[in-house]
A and B are shown apart, each in its own frame.
Chain A
Amino acid sequence: MGLLTGKRVFSIMALCMMVGLLLLPIVIALPSPAIGEEAPAGDAVKKDGDKVEKGRDVYYKTEGIVVGAPAPKTTDGPKDYPRYNFESRVLIWFANQQHLYYGSFVLAVPIFCMIIEFMGVVTKDKALAKRYDQLAYDFIKISLTAYSLTAILGGILIFTFLTLYPAFFGYLSSIFRPVMHIYALMFVAESGTLYIYYYGWDKMKEGFLKWIHLSMSVVLNIIGTLLMFLANSWIGFMMSPAGVDEQGRYLGNIWHVIHTALWNPLNLHRILGNMAFGGGVVAAYAAYKFLAAKTDEDRAHYDWMGYIAMALGVSFLIPLPFAGYWLMREVYAYRQQMGITLMGGLLAWLFIIQATMIGILFLSSNYYLWQAMGRMRGAEKYQRYIKYLVFLLICGFLVFITPHTMVMSPAELKAMGGQQHPVLGNFGVMSAKNGGINVMITTTVLSFIWYMRGNKVSTVSWAKFGNIFMGVFFACAYVNIIWLAIYGYYIPANVRVGLSVPQVATTLSCLFFMFALNSVMMSGAKQMGPIEWGKISVRSQYALIMLATAFTWMMALMGYIRSSVRLFWHVNEIMRDNSPWAYTHTVGFAANMISFNVLFFWISILFVFWMGSLSAKKVPVEAKAGIPGSVPQPAASH
C-alpha cells in the first residue's frame, strides 16, 4: 500500500514536472521580446537624436518601431555564400529533407502511441488491452531511436545553414531569436518527457498510474505539436513574411512574425501529413516483419499491427487533400502570382506528379482493404462489387492526373491544333479535378465501411432500411460530386471556386454519417466468424510498402514544391537569393534528388528498425519462459 502511494506521489510529481517543463520555455522566454524591443539593433533604432524610426508591416499594414536591421543584400562570394566544390542548395536540401522525415516520424508516432494506449485502457477485453499496450510500447521504442537521429540531423542542418548560408541564417535568427530559444527549450522538454514516458512504462502500467502515464503522452504530444508549429513559423515567414517592414526590419511584434498568412494552413497540413506518413512507415515496418515471419503467431501479430497503422494513416490521409486545398487557397489569397506559379506555371508539372502519387496512395489503400477482406468469413459477398469500385477509382484517378496542357514537339502541336487536347484538355481544370479526388475519397470511405462490416450481419430491426439508405446516400453523394464538377464548367470562375466547399462537404458527410450509421447498425451484430489475423495475401503487404514509399516520395516532392515557389528569394520579396543556385531545377533533376532522399531515408530507417529489434529479441523468450500461454492471440474484433 505504502509502495503504491509512493508510486502515485512519484507519478504525480513526474506529471507536474512535465507540465513544468512544458511551461518553462514560455516563462523563460517571456522577457525576451521585451529585451528585444528595448535593445537597439544596429543603427536602425534611432536617428536624428531621440527620434524613433517607425516602419510599416508588409502584411498586417500596422506601424511599429523599427528594432531590427534590414535584410542583408547578399552578393555571390565566399562572404555570403561560402561553399565546397558542390551545389550548396543540394546539401541543404538533403539535410532539410532527412531532418523533416525523422522529425515527422517522431512527432507522429507518439500520437499513435497515445491513441493506441488509450484504446488499451478503455477496452474491456483484457487480452486485447494487453496487446494494445504492447503495441504502443513497441511504437515508442522505435520512436526513441529515431528521436536521437532527429536531433543529430537537426544539428547537421544548423551547421549546414551556418557554414553555407551564414548571411541568410544570421538574418533569420535575428528575427526569430526568442522563438529559436523557446524552440530549443521545448526540445529539452520534449526529450525529458519522452524519456520519463518510455522508462516509466512498466512502473505505471495499472489503475490510476496508467491514467497518469496516459496523461504524460498527452503532454508529450502537446510539446511535440508546439515544436512543429514553431518550426513552421520559419518557413511561413520565408514564404509570406510579416512583422517586418519592406526592408525586412523587425518591428518588435513577435506574434506578427510567427502568425503569417500561411502559418495556420501549414500547421494543419503538416499535422495531417505527419500522421499519414507515420502510419505508412509503421505499416511498412509491420509488412516487412510479416513477410519475414516464421510462425503463424508472428504473422498474426504483424498483420494486426500493419492494419492498425494503415487504418490510422489512412484516417489522416482522407482529410489531407482538403487541408492542402485550404493551403493553396490561402497561397492564392496571399499572392495570386505565387498560386499561378505553383499550379498553373513553372511548377504545374510537379503537381501532376503529385496527383499521380495521391492517386497511388488511394489505390494502394483500397487494394489493401479489399485484400484484407480475405481474412474474414462473410466478406465474400462484397467481392463481386469491387470491380465497380475499381471503375470509380480509375475514372477519378485518370481525371485527377490529366494535365491541362501537354509537352509536345512542334509537329505534335500542329497535329493537335494547340497545346490543349480537344477532349482530354477539358479534364485539366480544377472543376474536374475536385470531382476526381472527391470520387476517390468517397470510394475509399465505402471500401472502409465494407471492410468494417465484412464478417458481420446487422441484427437491428431496421437493418434492411439501413442498408438501402446507405446505398442510396452513397449513390446520391457520387451524383452530387459529379454534378458539381460538371456544373462548374457552365458558371463564371468567381462562382465556380465556391463549388469545392459543397463537394468536400459531400465527401465528409459520407465519412461521418455513414461511419456513424454503420457503427449503430453493427453494434451487437451477428459475427459470421472471427477475423483470421495472418491469413491475408502476401500482395496486401506489398501494397502497404507501396503506400509508405508513395507517402515518403510525395512528402519530399511537396516540400520541394513549397520551397521552390519562392523562386529567387530567401524570404519572399524581402531578402533576395544571390547565390548561383537561385534558379528552379528541371523536373528530372528534382525527381532524382527526391528519389535519393527517399532511398536514404528508407536505408537509415531500416537501421533504426534493426536497432529496435536487437532489444526486442529477448522479450518473447522471457515471456514464454515466465508466463506460459502469453503468446499473442488473434483479436476477436478490430
Chain B
Amino acid sequence: MSALNNPVIAVIVSLVIAVGYFTFVDHYLMDMQGLDYWYLFRK
C-alpha cells in the first residue's frame, strides 16, 4: 500500500485502471447495441 502512495506509481496505476475501464465501457456498450466501436480504425 505504501508503494501506491508514491505519486508517480499512483498516477500510473490510476491511468492504467481508468483508461482500461473506459475503453472497455466504450467497446462493450457499443457491441451490446450491435455497433462497432472500432469502425473508423478498421476502415
Count residues on chain B whose CB falls below 8 Å from chain A CBs: 25
* Known A468-B7, A477-B22, A491-B40; contact A502-B29, beta-carbon cutoff 8 A: yes
Nearest CB in chain A: distance from B11 CB, A = 6
Contact of B29 among A464, A468, A490, A501 (CB under 8 A): A501
Contact of B18 among A472, A498, A499 (CB under 8 A): A472
Interface residues of A toward B: which range? Answer: 20 to 34
Residues 472-496 of chain A, each 1 if its beta carbon lies under 8 Å from chain B, else 0 = 1101110010001001001110110
* Known A469-B14, A495-B35, A498-B33; contact A509-B21, beta-carbon cutoff 8 A: yes
A476 touching B26, Cβ below 8 Å? no
Closest chain A residue to B31, Cβ basis: A498
* Known A476-B15, A502-B30; contact A468-B10, beta-carbon cutoff 8 A: yes
Contact of A484 among B18, B19, B26 (CB under 8 A): B26
Nearest CB in chain A: distance from B24 CB, A = 10
Which B residues from 1 to 43 make CB contacts under 8 A with A?
Answer: 1, 4-5, 7, 10-11, 13-15, 17-19, 21-22, 25-26, 29-30, 32-33, 35-37, 39-40
* Known A465-B10, A469-B10, A469-B17; contact A476-B1, beta-carbon cutoff 8 A: no
Interchain CA distance A372-B6 in the complex, whole Å:
33
Contacts of A12 in B (CB 8 A): none
B15 touching A480, Cβ below 8 Å? no
- Does A409 sit within 8 A of B, measured CB to CB? no
- Does A333 sit within 8 A of B, measured CB to CB? no
Interchain CA distance A473-B19 in the complex, whole Å:
8
Contact of B26 among A480, A491, A492, A495 (CB under 8 A): A480
* Known A465-B4, A491-B39, A495-B36; contact A472-B26, beta-carbon cutoff 8 A: no
* Known A491-B39, A491-B40; contact A501-B30, beta-carbon cutoff 8 A: yes
- Does A461 sit within 8 A of B, measured CB to CB? yes
Q: Dominant SS at the A interface?
A: helix
Interchain CA distance A506-B32 in the complex, whole Å:
16
B14 touching A472, Cβ below 8 Å? yes
B30 touching A476, Cβ below 8 Å? no
* Known A472-B11, A487-B40; contact A465-B5, beta-carbon cutoff 8 A: yes
A502 touching B14, Cβ below 8 Å? no
Residues 502-517 of chain A, each 1 if its beta carbon lies under 8 Å from chain B, else 0 = 1001100100000000
- Does A589 sit within 8 A of B, measured CB to CB? no
Contacts of B15 in A (CB 8 A): 472, 476
A502 touching B5, Cβ below 8 Å? no
Nearest CB in chain B: distance from A539 CB, A = 36
Interchain CA distance A491-B22 in the complex, whole Å:
19
- Does A391 sit within 8 A of B, measured CB to CB? no
Nearest CB in chain A: distance from B42 CB, A = 11
- Does A388 sit within 8 A of B, measured CB to CB? no
- Does A462 sit within 8 A of B, measured CB to CB? yes
A495 touching B7, Cβ below 8 Å? no
A495 touching B18, Cβ below 8 Å? no
A505 touching B1, Cβ below 8 Å? no
A499 touching B10, Cβ below 8 Å? no
* Known A472-B18, A480-B22, A498-B35; contact A505-B10, beta-carbon cutoff 8 A: no
* Known A468-B11, A495-B36; contact A473-B18, beta-carbon cutoff 8 A: yes
Contacts of A462 in B (CB 8 A): 1, 4-5
Nearest CB in chain A: distance from B23 CB, A = 9
Contacts of A490 in B (CB 8 A): 40
Identify 10 new A-B residue pairs, CB closer than 8 A, beyond the known A492-B39, A495-B35. A462-B4, A464-B5, A464-B10, A465-B1, A469-B14, A476-B19, A477-B22, A509-B21, A509-B22, A509-B25
Q: List 17 A-B contacts (CB under 8 A).
A: A461-B1, A462-B1, A468-B11, A468-B14, A469-B13, A473-B17, A476-B15, A476-B22, A480-B22, A491-B40, A495-B30, A498-B30, A499-B30, A501-B30, A501-B32, A502-B29, A509-B25
* A residues in contact (CB < 8 Å) with B: 461-462, 464-465, 468-469, 471-473, 475-477, 480, 484, 487, 490-492, 494-495, 498-499, 501-502, 505-506, 509
Q: What are the 7 closest A-B residue pairs judged by CB atoms, nearest first?
A: A472-B14, A476-B18, A468-B10, A498-B35, A465-B4, A469-B14, A464-B5
